[in-house]
Structure 1
Amino acid sequence: MASDDGDSLSPPIDRLRTIMARLRGPGGCPWDREQDFSTIAPYTIEEAYEVDDAIRRGDMDGLRDELGDLLLQVVFHAQMASEASRFDFDDVAEGIADKLVRRHPHVFGNASYASSEEQTADWEAMKAAEREARGEQSALDDVPLALPALKRATKLGKRASRSGFDWPDPTGPLDKIREEIREIEEAMEEGAGHERLEGEIGDLLFAVTNLARHLKVDAETALRGCNAKFERRYRYVEQRVREQSGGDSVSLAEMDGYWDEAKAEEKRKEEREQ
């Protein structure tokens, strides 16, 4: 049996659970003992992003560490639930194992699918049945509020599309984008206040996520890529400004020229790598 400080001979997951229980128990860590689900939730989200970052950087050592940090979040939440006599880590593991078996009847049962599209349709039907069994009235009920706004907008559009509430092809959302841009221009011409402008820009962003969905482009991934590209090019502009100005200010036209240099250099690099 594992000791209170985690017996190194115990299975690693048992040792981790024992350590977490000790941190939360009498004489444990004051910080850990003060936490609850709401205070730990932001760390859980942050750790998931750090896992994603390690993957994008191809850092396998970092990924191992970040997955450990994410696993700690699961153990932390499960420990707090256990203290409240709601559920424990074993219940969490058993629940996801049961769900995987239930949702893969072609692997663990006798079902078969003619295509991945047929499998996806059945998967979604099973999820809808589970939502109905939980008493949820809308297909949108379990779309998490904490998702990044672009990701949540995509999920909302996708859920609505399953009932036929969607454009048949990408031209619909593309026309909607043009409509929303016109409405922003009208709001600006009318001197509209912040609240209206915020609403119109929100409508435009939502329309863009619908276009991305129709084109099978992940909006969140696309924007991350654009952010990285902007950062890369702007750093180049900063470097050129330092080299050419000697610390003096430069005009917007000069900075635009350096920006074009950065784009041209990226294009040349892409051509060399092809």
Structure 2
Amino acid sequence: MNFDTLSATRQNQLIAFDRILTIMDELREQCPWDKKQTIESLRHLTIEETYELSDAIIEGDMKEIKKEIGDVMLHLVFYSKIASETNTFDIADVLNGLCEKLIHRHPHIYGDVKVENEEQVKQNWEALKLKEGNKSVLEGVPKSLPSLVKAMRIQEKARGAGFDWEEKHQVWEKVEEEMDEFKNEFNVIDNQAINIDKAEAEFGDLLFSLVNYARFININVETALERTNKKFIKRFQHLELRAKQQGKALQDMTLAEMDVYWEEAKRL
């Protein structure tokens, strides 16, 4: 590759990448905190940074997204630097491995495979992973994923293997079936004791079917629920503020009194 023949934009990108690698080398050599870190010690910090990036994306804050991408990028460079110190791998190995995987997994771009749509791309992707040694299409779903996200990924993987509903109404019928089973088994009207283990299993089936329907109509369940979480937090904090302005504690207010401020918050 001749650096001088590259566009100015690509030159600036490569210079910036070289700069962070140089800074990482210096920090690892000179900073007491950076020198102490291990791949294991960085793990929980990486998880935190990933969630911060997720928050910024949900908020649609591009300035914050840029900042959080930088924080995640730092961690990726950090891991690679630590591994290079034991000659395990370095950042070049990581990036070249990624490039080779992308080329191999996109034969419709870098080979002679023909595809008609996105679904065929996904099916080819899963088929190639099985040829690479995966015993199941579900092996690529991390065990530690939050359950809601995991349900969505499991269903997407199964769809990539051709195992899915054909029509939207079929998926909704499954939701209604699971809802009816839950309602009939655990009638909320009577006060009979509930078998918690059985109720939990049935409720899990209901949630899984709802995730399935959301996926079928292109709703990201994690994003949808997090937006509702944020909406509830905003309204509840308004309720707390209005109660404080009235010199009252929430614990001392009736539900009817709180509902006035809640409805007020919904109009904001």
TM-score under structure 1 length normalisation? 0.75
In the alignment, the residues of structure 2 paired with residue 217 and residue 59 of structure 1 have an alpha-carbon distance, to the nearest angstrom, of: 21
Q: Within the alignment, does 1:121 sit opposite 2:113 as a pair?
A: no
Deviation at 1:75, TM superposition (A): 0.5
User: Among 235, 238, 242, which residue is 2:237 paired with?
Assistant: 235
Match of 1:250 in 2: 253
Secondary structure at the counterpart of residue 160 of structure 1: helix
Residues 1:161 and 1:97: Cα distance change in structure 2 (over 3 Å): closer
Secondary structure at the counterpart of residue 247 of structure 1: coil
Q: Within the alignment, does 1:52 sit opposite 2:59 as a pair?
A: no
Secondary structure at the counterpart of residue 11 of structure 1: helix
Match of 1:158 in 2: 156
Secondary structure at the counterpart of residue 216 of structure 1: coil
Do 1:174 and 1:211's aligned partners in 2 also have CA atoms closer than 8 Å?
no
Structure 2: segments with no counterpart, 5+ residues = 1-13
2:128 alignment partner AA: A
Do 1:24 and 1:33's aligned partners in 2 also have CA atoms closer than 8 Å?
yes
Residues 1:183 and 1:214: Cα distance change in structure 2 (over 3 Å): farther
Deviation at 1:167, TM superposition (A): 4.1
Q: Within the alignment, does 1:148 sit opposite 2:156 as a pair?
A: no
User: Among 88, 91, 114, which residue is 1:89 paired with?
Assistant: 91
1:238 alignment partner AA: E
Q: Within the alignment, does 1:178 sit opposite 2:180 as a pair?
A: yes
Secondary structure at the counterpart of residue 137 of structure 2: coil
In the comparison of the two structures, how many residue pairs are matched?
247
Deviation at 1:166, TM superposition (A): 4.1
2:64 alignment partner AA: G
1:71 alignment partner AA: M
User: Among 2, 12, 18, which residue is 2:16 paired with?
Assistant: 12
In the alignment, the residues of structure 1 paired with residue 199 and residue 34 of structure 2 have an alpha-carbon distance, to the nearest angstrom, of: 43
Deviation at 1:224, TM superposition (A): 0.9
Do 1:103 and 1:123's aligned partners in 2 also have CA atoms closer than 8 Å?
no
Residues 1:206 and 1:30: Cα distance change in structure 2 (over 3 Å): farther
Residues 1:207 and 1:113: Cα distance change in structure 2 (over 3 Å): closer
User: Among 222, 225, 230, which residue is 1:223 paired with?
Assistant: 225
2:247 alignment partner AA: G
Using the TM superposition, name which of 214-223 and 94-103 deviates more. Answer: 94-103
In angstroms, what is the RMSD of aligned CA positions? 2.9
Do 1:143 and 1:155's aligned partners in 2 also have CA atoms closer than 8 Å?
yes
